[in-house]
């Protein structure tokens, strides 16, 4: 089926749907540096690099041009409070990201859409914002007689064979019909377990990055032999892998990292570490999961991102492995934008599962 990816980033959501044999026909990304990575890895997609407010209309998107719309509008715009939420939410300029997502759905009228967001959206303004979103997509007056039945679940990446305790809310909208989402979710899990028996296995940090050779200044390494089932799932047929270069840390940061053991964090340093992250200066353990990979995984004070053995934070390739990006995916740009691309992405392996769920929701 044809898919449109809004707020596509570097393409984490797209990758899962492509792996499930869907075709991405159009994508939208505002950040030109991040869009470069999307374009390089998805060269055949019609990528629009623009503010979504300029393109969320019938001049760009036409009825039935896609069966599925995917994307996660950043939640910063969901800023209204109090009794005005319901009546003014969609008109409030601060919520333009959500409104633009809705506008594209209204233009295209896909059979289904997938809306990904942070878990906190469920409780923002005591749940009123989330309830308003549900009401908007169910309102036939706003959708010219159509409606979407909405279903939502909080998903944890580690439950889908990803070595990361990342939680996100997934909202699925199905046009003009009701489904038993719990039954379909269970059905999809059973199907994938039959097709790929190791898909839902518990995956450790060692399973994810244990076969990677030492990092290089260029970030280019020889493709290592895949040992774990997870490594095999992400394996590349190319002879080289990119983005395996380490951050150069200050002398003070290096001294601190040397004193932190597996599973420990800044508390053992007995210093006044200025960080909002409870896992600051945390060292990963080979046998455990990572916490959520954020856009600051290259910074020791940014969370639990220190390599299990080496006195450095994880490389972009190691972070990409933990996020379940395939090894042949190349991240383009400077260090800051690459960290942003990886940290903000939907894990592609989770996206693959969601694509299968959508297949079962709207398949004939």
Angle 112-120-103 from CA coordinates, rounded to 5°: 35
Catalytic residue among 8, 10, 75, 107: 75
d(CA 241, CA 101): 35
Neighbour tally for 264: CB within 10 Å: 16
Q: Which residue ranges in the chain fall short of pLDDT 50?
A: 80-83, 85
Closest to 241 (Cα-Cα) out of 327, 157, 164, 133: 327
pLDDT for res 82: 45
**Full-model pTM:** 0.93
Smallest Cα–Cα separation from 72: which of 123, 10, 122, 5?
5
Task: Determine the pLDDT at residue 262.
Answer: 92
Phi, psi torsion values for 18, nearest 5 degrees:
-65, -40
Per-residue pLDDT at 275? 67
Q: What is the pLDDT of residue 93?
A: 64
Active site includes 75? yes
**Distance separating alpha carbons of residues 177 and 150, to the nearest angstrom:** 10
pLDDT given for residue 126 in this prediction: 81
CA distance 318 to 52: 32
């Amino acid at each position: 089926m044809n898919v449109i990816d809004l707020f596509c980033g570097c393409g984490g959501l797209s990758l899962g749907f492509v792996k499930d044999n869907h075709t991405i026909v159009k994508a939208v990304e505002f950040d030109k540096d991040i869009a470069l990575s999307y374009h390089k890895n998805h060269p055949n997609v019609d990528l629009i690099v623009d503010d979504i407010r300029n393109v969320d209309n019938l001049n760009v998107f036409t009825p039935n041009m896609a069966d599925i719309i995917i994307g996660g509008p950043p939640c910063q715009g969901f800023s209204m409070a109090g009794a005005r939420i319901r009546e003014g939410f969609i008109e409030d300029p601060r919520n333009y990201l959500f409104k633009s997502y809705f506008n594209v759905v209204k233009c295209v009228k896909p059979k289904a859409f997938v809306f990904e967001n942070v878990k906190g959206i469920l409780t923002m303004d005591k749940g009123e914002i989330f309830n308003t979103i549900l009401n908007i997509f169910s309102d036939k007056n706003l959708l010219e007689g159509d409606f979407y039945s909405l279903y939502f679940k909080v998903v944890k990446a580690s439950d889908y064979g990803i070595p990361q305790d990342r939680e996100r809310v997934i909202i699925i909208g199905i046009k003009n019909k009701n489904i038993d989402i719990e039954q379909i979710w269970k059905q999809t899990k059973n199907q994938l377990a039959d097709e790929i028996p190791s898909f839902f296995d518990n995956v450790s940090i060692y399973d994810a990055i244990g076969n990677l050779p030492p990092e290089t200044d260029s970030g280019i390494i020889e493709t290592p032999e895949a040992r774990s089932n997870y490594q095999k799932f992400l394996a590349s047929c190319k002879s080289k892998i990119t983005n395996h270069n380490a951050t150069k840390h200050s002398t003070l940061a290096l001294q601190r990292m040397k004193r932190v053991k597996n599973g420990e964090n800044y508390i053992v340093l007995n210093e006044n570490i200025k960080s909002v992250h409870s896992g600051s200066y945390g060292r990963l353990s080979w046998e455990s999961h990572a916490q959520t990979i954020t856009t600051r995984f290259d910074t020791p004070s940014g969370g639990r991102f220190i390599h299990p053995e080496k006195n450095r934070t994880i490389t972009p390739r190691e972070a990409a492995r933990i996020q379940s990006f395939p090894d042949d995916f190349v991240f383009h740009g400077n260090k800051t934008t690459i960290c942003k691309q990886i940290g903000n992405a939907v894990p592609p392996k989770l996206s693959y599962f969601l694509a299968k769920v959508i297949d079962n929701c709207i398949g004939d």
